[in-house]
């Protein structure tokens, strides 16, 4: 049976792939880049406040006292109150309401206010594109659904995608190189890209889809959500939280579970109960949620670890999407593969631009966006570290300025060089500001990872800047006719023809 | 002892993955059809690597390692074998940005509306009907719907953007949506 798609199907798939890619390309690029950075959000949080004292040795009784003191402050009380327990990833304890948080010192007193505004900005940009949350998350998740369409159309549009899996021609930055980079990264990253697309689409579409199902089946939407995420337990004991007793009970009940956070629901009301979130070794679920009343009596668990398969799948989405399991190595894998998806987004548009065989303002705008986003992110990080100020307005303004500069230059290759120079300057400024503001803490364990990465990034940017500025670095340039391939038997004439036709 | 076993399993999995990729590359670079035995060995090695990952991290983490590690391991190999000969590049001419035609805008807007509005409606209805008719418990039915719907939407978007005769996917999707709605209402 011949499963090769017909030339007509290939042509139509290519057209559909191009259309869908153009529809979502620019937004996909921003979402992918910020998502790739979000993999390291615990490291970014620690880097933003490296002066906070870190420890894994907290006495549960001290934490209980700190949490109760915090809960007792009526002015700070919200429906849900949180206690983050120190973990290997973030060895800091903190208490927070639904708006603000404070670190807890080892003696139980409250320390600095939690201020991870840049990290939150990155995450919010990834989740909502800085739009209002309800609309933003649906839009971003829709990009996930479109990514599924792009992956499928990409596979059908390139019948030789797997056969040419090692065919990478990096000749300058012309269309051939862009096409090869796009196709090779797509094919090797396809399983991961599909995983990210499906899990990413889930987060924003779960609520509207459940709402529609509720309407269609005549059921209450809240009942449907509760059936998946669990219902509130009946509570008899209220008053001060006996956290140490609850943690001790959990330790006896589930010795393998690692508690990392506590949520108090209905804080200060008669419905008050606490939920201890604990990860389970070797399990993809974000947590199993163990419920206790205020006196530390066990009320039950949500059932994400051993309940229905559906519940386990839902609670595995977070780790699957963000790669926060298996330690730093897994984060690195997610980071690298996230970058490949980012590059695929960019090269896809580059290919479309170069197919037009001429340059115009669209080339300038695209160069401004591609190189302007890292500039805008670096500017917002520098602003946060220097002035404690970060805002979507700042990010979009800097990006708009980069696009305007690129339009003014009328030469994407030169605009790219300019923007890389600005990016490098901002990274240098960011490192210096961090060092000046935090002194020796900037070299400590909390900030070391990110500052080393920034230093590497600076080196890479300097290398890029030192490369000769030539027209070849413009993706809209057309590669001259090919010379003989290195691997003659694999010189893929169909591929060459398809590319030449395109 | 446990750490030693874990280290050995991890190292074996990485070694098998790298060896499999090198074999695949060698088979790819030598002949047009590839040596069947070499390719078979490579896939066997990838299976062994997967087994090692599952033994190391359990089937949940192990499956993800087995999926992602070859992707990452292939990147340096691609970089190493890339063809970097400099090719002559012709600078493309610069033009003024041409104004899009109203017909072109209308065409793209129509496709966009179909992909978004019809795509969401059809995917939600079809997935809901299939999900609610599956012999699963209620929670599993709902999770099936919310997890599968985006994929179905993506596929519908592709179909709508691909088919030259736009009426075919539109009519098919409207019919499928109507059937799904009826199926949901009478279940």
What percentage of chain A exceeds 70 in pLDDT?
92
Distance CA(A363)–CA(A365), nearest Å, equals 6
Residue range(s) defining the domain that contains residue B21: 2-81
Q: Tell whether B98 is covered by a domain.
A: no
Mapping DSSP onto H, E and C, the string for A346-370 reads HHHHHHHHHHCCCECHHHHHHHHHH
Q: Which residues contact A191 (CB under 8 A, 6 or more apart)?
A: B67, B68, B71
Q: Do B95 and A192 touch (CB under 8 A)?
A: no
Q: How far off is chain B from A287, nearest CA to CA, in Å?
A: 14
Report the range of poorest mean pLDDT among A7-21, A327-341, B87-101, B157-171: B87-101
Q: Say whether pLDDT at A452 is over 70.
A: yes
**CB of B122 within 8 A of CB of B176?**
yes
> Hey, where are the domains in chain A?
7-45+120-170+328-473
Q: How far off is chain B from A75, nearest CA to CA, in Å?
A: 39
Higher pLDDT, A356 or A229: A356
Q: Do A480 and B65 touch (CB under 8 A)?
A: no
Q: Do B87 and A478 touch (CB under 8 A)?
A: no
One domain for residues B72 and B116: no
One domain for residues B67 and B115: no
Mean pLDDT of A345-369: 93
Chain A residue with CA closest to B152: the answer is A145
Q: Tell whether B102 is covered by a domain.
A: no
pLDDT confidence of residue A496: 45
Distance CA(A233)–CA(B127), nearest Å, equals 32
- Reduced DSSP (H G I as helix, E B as strand, rest coil) percent helix, strand, coil of chain B, to 5: 80, 0, 15
pLDDT confidence of residue A172: 63
| Two tokens, residue A491 | 């010189």
| A window 266-325, beta carbon within 8 A of B | 282-284, 308-311, 313-314, 316, 320, 325
Mean pLDDT of A198-220: 87
Q: E strands along chain B, which residues?
A: 89-90
pLDDT confidence of residue A482: 39
pLDDT confidence of residue B33: 58
Which chain B positions have a beta carbon within 8 Å of A168's beta carbon? 78-79, 81-83
| Structural domain total, chain B | 2
Q: C-alpha dihedral over A129, A130, A133, A136, to 10 degrees?
A: -30
Q: Do B150 and A205 touch (CB under 8 A)?
A: yes
Distance CA(A386)–CA(B54), nearest Å, equals 46
Residue located via tokens 């590690």? B69
Q: Say whether pLDDT at A141 is over 90.
A: yes
Query: Using one digit for the tens of pLDDT, what is the confidence trace for A365-398?
Result: 999 999 999 999 999 999 999 999 999 999 999 9
| The model's pTM | 0.90
Which chain A positions have a beta carbon within 8 Å of B146's beta carbon? 202, 205-206, 209-210, 314
Q: Say whether pLDDT at A114 is over 80.
A: yes
Report for A404-408, A493-497, B137-141: range of highest mean pLDDT: A404-408
Query: Using one digit for the tens of pLDDT, what is the confidence trace for A259-308?
Result: 999 999 988 888 899 999 999 988 999 999 999 999 999 999 988 998 88
Q: Say whether pLDDT at A131 is over 80.
A: yes
| Two tokens, residue A260 | 């990392």
Mean pLDDT of A332-357: 94
* ipTM of the complex, rounded to two decimals: 0.91
pLDDT confidence of residue A480: 44
pLDDT band at A3 (very low <50, low <70, confident <90, very high): low
Phi-psi region of A285 (alpha: psi -120 to 50; beta: other; left: phi over 0): beta
From B62, B81, B100, the end of a domain falls on B81
Q: Tell whether B66 is covered by a domain.
A: yes
pLDDT confidence of residue B34: 58
Tell how far CA A157 is from the center of its chain. Answer: 28
Distance CA(A333)–CA(A39), nearest Å, equals 10
What percentage of chain B exceeds 70 in pLDDT?
95
Q: Say whether pLDDT at A492 is over 60.
A: no
pLDDT confidence of residue A219: 80
Higher pLDDT, B74 or B186: B74
Mean pLDDT of A470-483: 46
Mean pLDDT of A429-458: 94
| Two tokens, residue A415 | 């605009």
From B81, B101, B136, the end of a domain falls on B81
Q: E strands along B85-183, which residues?
A: 89-90
Torsion over CA: A12, A14, A20, A22 (sign): negative
Mean pLDDT estimate for chain A = 88
Instruction: Label residues B129-145 b or e (16+ Cβ within 10 Å = b).
Output: bbbbeeebeebbbbbbb
Q: Say whether pLDDT at A171 is over 80.
A: no
From B81, B100, B126, the end of a domain falls on B81
pLDDT confidence of residue A64: 93
pLDDT band at B88 (very low <50, low <70, confident <90, very high): low
One domain for residues B12 and B69: yes
Report the range of poorest mean pLDDT among A157-166, A187-196, A329-338, A362-371: A157-166
One domain for residues B56 and B14: yes
Report the range of poorest mean pLDDT among A391-395, B79-83, B155-159: B79-83
The angle subtended at Cα A318 by Cα A312 and Cα A322, nearest 5°, is 145
Q: Tell whether B7 is covered by a domain.
A: yes
Mean pLDDT of A434-449: 93
């Amino acid at each position: 049976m011949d499963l090769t798609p017909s030339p007509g199907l290939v042509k139509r798939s290519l057209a559909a792939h191009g259309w869908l890619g153009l529809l979502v390309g620019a937004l996909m690029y921003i979402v992918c880049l910020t998502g790739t950075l979000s993999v390291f959000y615990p490291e970014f949080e620690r880097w933003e406040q490296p002066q906070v004292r870190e420890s894994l040795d907290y006495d549960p009784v001290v934490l209980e006292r700190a949490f109760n003191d915090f809960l007792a402050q009526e002015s700070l009380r919200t429906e849900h109150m949180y206690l983050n327990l120190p973990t290997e990833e973030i060895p800091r304890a903190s208490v927070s309401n639904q708006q603000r948080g404070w670190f807890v010192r080892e003696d139980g007193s409250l320390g600095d206010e939690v201020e991870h505004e840049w990290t939150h900005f990155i995450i919010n940009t990834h989740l909502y594109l800085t739009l209002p949350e309800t609309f933003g998350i649906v839009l971003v998740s829709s990009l996930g659904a479109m990514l599924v369409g792009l992956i499928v159309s990409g596979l059908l549009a390139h019948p030789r995608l797997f056969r040419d899996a090692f065919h990478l021609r990096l000749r300058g930055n012309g269309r051939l190189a862009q096409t090869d980079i796009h196709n090779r990264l797509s094919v090797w990253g396809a399983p991961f890209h599909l995983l990210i697309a499906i899990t990413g689409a889930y987060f924003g579409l779960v609520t509207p889809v459940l709402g529609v199902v509720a309407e269609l089946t005549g059921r209450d939407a809240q009942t449907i959500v509760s059936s998946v995420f669990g219902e509130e337990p009946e509570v008899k004991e209220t008053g001060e939280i006996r956290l140490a007793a609850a943690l001790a009970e959990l330790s006896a009940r589930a010795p393998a579970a690692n508690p990392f956070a506590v949520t108090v629901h209905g804080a200060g009301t008669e419905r008050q109960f606490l939920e201890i979130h604990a990860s389970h070794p070797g399990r993809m679920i974000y947590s199993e949620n163990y419920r206790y009343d205020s006196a530390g009596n066990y009320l039950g668990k949500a059932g994400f670890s051993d309940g229905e398969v559906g519940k386990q799948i839902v609670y595995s989405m977070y780790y699957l999407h963000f790669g926060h399991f298996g330690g730093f190595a897994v984060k690195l894998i997610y980071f690298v593969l996230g970058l490949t998806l980012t590059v695929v987004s960019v090269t896809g548009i580059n290919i479309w631009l170069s197919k037009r065989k001429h340059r115009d303002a669209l080339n300038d705008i695209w160069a401004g966006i591609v190189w302007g986003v890292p500039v805008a992110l670096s500017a917002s990080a520098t602003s946060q570290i220097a002035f404690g100020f970060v805002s979507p307005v700042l990010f979009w303004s800097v990006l708009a300025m980069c696009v305007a500069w690129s339009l003014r230059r009328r030469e994407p290759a030169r605009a790219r060089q300019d923007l890389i120079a600005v990016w490098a300057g901002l990274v240098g400024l960011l490192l210096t500001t961090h060092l000046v503001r935090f002194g020796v803490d900037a070299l400590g364990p909390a900030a070391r990872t990110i500052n080393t990465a920034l230093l590497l990034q600076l080196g890479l940017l300097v290398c890029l800047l030192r490369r000769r500025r030539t027209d070849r670095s413009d993706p809209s340039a057309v590669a001259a006719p090919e010379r003989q391939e290195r691997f003659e038997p694999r010189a893929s004439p169909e591929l060459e023809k398809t590319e030449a036709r395109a | 002892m446990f750490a030693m076993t874990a280290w050995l399993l991890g190292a074996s999995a990485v070694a098998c993955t790298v060896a499999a990729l090198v074999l695949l590359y060698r088979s790819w670079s030598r002949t047009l059809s590839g040596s069947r035995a070499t390719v078979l060995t490579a896939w066997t090695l990838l299976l062994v690597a997967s087994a090692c990952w599952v033994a190391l991290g359990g089937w949940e983490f192990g499956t993800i390692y087995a999926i992602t590690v070859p992707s990452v391991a292939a990147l340096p190999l691609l970089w190493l074998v890339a063809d970097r000969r400099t090719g002559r590049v012709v600078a493309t001419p610069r033009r003024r940005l041409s104004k899009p035609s109203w017909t072109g805008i209308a065409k793209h807007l129509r496709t966009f509306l179909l992909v978004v509005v019809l795509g969401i409606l059809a995917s939600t209805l079809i997935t809901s009907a299939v999900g609610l008719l599956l012999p699963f418990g209620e929670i599993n039915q709902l999770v099936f719907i919310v997890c599968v719907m985006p994929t179905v939407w993506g596929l519908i978007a592709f179909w709508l953007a691909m088919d030259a005769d736009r009426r075919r996917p539109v009519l098919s999707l409207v019919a499928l949506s109507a059937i799904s709605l009826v199926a949901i209402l009478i279940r």
